Structure 1
Amino acid sequence: MGNMELNIMKAGDLLVSSANTLPSWGIRVGTVSCVSHVAMAISSSSVIESAPTGTYPKSLSDFLKDNRRVYLLKRPVKLSPHQDSLLQQSVASIQRDGYNLPRSLTSGFVRFGFGFWLVCFLIVNSTLIFYYDAPWFVLAGYNFLMGLLFLVLYTCAWPERFNRVIDKLHFPKIMKTDVEKHFCSQLVMELDEIIDGGLSKGGIKIHELRPKDVQRRAKNLGYVRRRIKPPII
């Protein structure tokens, strides 16, 4: 698509993007997606994002400079004055240094882990039952181990749950996840939940969403995706 007027963006819209950097390539390959980052618009000319430098607002022009390809996901319904007020208040209070890289990586690994678990569970059980006619204690032992693996994945899927387990088991506090720090898609979902924007509702919350998941959920809710480019000067 051609160049767009930058004033079409409104508070509550989303921007998904990719960049010519190694982390961006890694995220796109790991999630099998064309996007590696997501941010939320807080006005017609600025966004808030969680990046390695921290969670801070950024002008749209700077956001476009930092990313190779950017798509605007326009909300089907404009934010109400109350929702916009909640968003601005949250933006003012949520800013901080630091990026939660471990939490970001966990969201990707857990998603892969659940998929791998399901494939192994179905294939190995089918093979043991129909091909090897395995005795019951072999099946019981294998499924017990798979149950433990599922429990580990389930515990790691949400940081609050993981932190509670660490406390109950009296493990070192250094193992706990810093829930005050964000990564990009988790920040967007947290803000959406605060303003009751709809993205955080519905669906089975197995793990924290990745940029790819946020984009898919937005499109299912009627967000319109358009390519956005810097204006030609």
Structure 2
Amino acid sequence: MSVETSKRPARNNGNVIVAAVCLAFFTGMIGMAYAAVPLYKMFCQATGYGGATKRATQQYADRVLDRAITVRFDANIAGVPWQFQPVQRSMTMKIGETVQAQYQAVNKFDRPVTGRATFNVQPELAGPYFNKVECFCFTDTTLEPGQTLDMPVVFYVDPDIVNVPELKDMKTITLSYTMFPVEKSKPVASSVPVKGSSKTISNTEANLGG
């Protein structure tokens, strides 16, 4: 046996080990990426980062400024067969004042459809100062065929927004929602025993008479 031939198995084993390490690293990175999605969503909701509105810890601001600001409302759909839109396109209120806006959804499909809304604020820097007290976002909503639903959002603009140099002269904020479809998981069939037999059938078969 030559020296070159004897080295070949060791070289092949080394390649296998390197490939296994790379695969494990790649799989781990994918897992971390998927885990980061819900964590990033929670981070955005808590801080307003990336244009996400901030969840209010109180219903009212600690003060109301004698200065008005206009909030524009935007609605989009992404694959859900609904008509989804704000009841009014804009609203002007005082900074720090708690107000309620209304969105409306209509199911245009011939069967029940479940949707879920995400949101953001423009400009992005205003996200941490847009405090929502009540919101339909990230909540699964099912509409029957032809059903219409009013969807309120209660919010206020934090007076501290005027202390931010980039935002102190801002007069308009845009609140945007996007509605996505939600696929409901199908029930898992379970087995029930057949009388007088060791045979079992699924619940679906039992309901259909076996």
**Coarse TM-score class (shorter-chain normalised):** under 0.3
The structure that is strand-richer by fraction is 2
Q: TM-score scaled by structure 2?
A: 0.20
Question: Whose RCO is larger (CA < 8 A, sep 6+)?
Answer: 1
Greater gyration radius: 2
Q: TM-score scaled by structure 1?
A: 0.19
The structure that is helix-richer by fraction is 1
